[in-house]
Amino acid sequence: MDERHFETREVHSHARNDQYGAMMPPIYANATYEYASPTEQQSEHRYSRMSAPTRGALEDSFAMLEGGEHGFAFASGMAAIDAVFASTLSPGDHVVAAKNLYAETHDLLADVYAEYGIETTHVPVNDADAIADAIGPDTELVYFETPTNPVLRVGDIEAAAEAAHEHDALLANDNTFASPYLQRPLELGADIVVESLTKYQGGHSDVLAGAVATNDPDVAEDIEYTQYTRGAILGPFDSFLVLRGMKTLSARMDRHCANARAVAEFLDDQPGVDPVYYPGLESHPNHEVAARQMADFGGMVAFELDGDRETVTEFAAGLEVFALAESLGGVESLVEVPALMTHQDLSPDELAEAGIDEGLVRLSVGIEHHEDLVADLAQALDVALD
SS3 of 310-373: HHHHHHHHHCCCCEECCCCCCCCCEEECCCCCCCCCCCHHHHHHCCCCCCEEEEECCCCCHHHH
Quick one: 350 exposed, middle or buried, by C-beta within 10 A (0-12, 13-18, 19+)? middle
User: Residue 212: CA atoms inside 13 Å, Cβ hemisphere, count?
Assistant: 31
Radius of gyration of the chain (CA): 21
Shortest approach of ligand PLP to residue 305 CB, angstroms?
22
238 binds ligand PLP (CB under 6 A): no
Q: Is 174 a catalytic residue?
A: yes
Task: Judge whether 256 and 200 are in contact, CB under 8 Å.
Answer: yes
Shortest approach of ligand PLP to residue 36 CB, angstroms?
38
Task: Judge whether 148 and 156 are in contact, CB under 8 Å.
Answer: no
Q: Is 16 a catalytic residue?
A: no
If the CB atoms of residues 242 and 312 are measured against ligand PLP, the closer one turns out to be: 242
145 binds ligand PLP (CB under 6 A): yes
102 binds ligand PLP (CB under 6 A): yes
Q: Which of 54, 71, 52 is nearest to 63 (CA)?
A: 71
Residues 177-196 that bind ligand PLP (CB under 6 A): 177, 196
Shortest approach of ligand PLP to residue 145 CB, angstroms?
5
Which residue is nearest to ligand PLP, using beta carbons?
77
Site string for ligand PLP, 199-228 (x = CB under 6 A): ---------x-x------------------
76 binds ligand PLP (CB under 6 A): yes
Residue from 78, 276, 316, 384 that binds ligand PLP (CB under 6 A)? 78
Q: Is 9 a catalytic residue?
A: no
198 binds ligand PLP (CB under 6 A): yes
| Binding residue count for ligand PLP, defined by CB under 6 A | 13
Span from 25-33, 62-70, 173-181, 182-190 in contact with ligand PLP (CB under 6 A):
173-181
Helix (H) or strand (E) holding 220, with range, is helix 217-230
Give the angle 125-356-281 at the CA atoms, nearest 5°: 65
52 binds ligand PLP (CB under 6 A): no
Q: Is 254 a catalytic residue?
A: no
82 binds ligand PLP (CB under 6 A): no
Residues that bind ligand PLP (CB under 6 A): 76-78, 102, 145, 149, 174, 176-177, 196, 198, 208, 210
- Give catalytic residues, as residue numbers: 49, 102, 174, 199
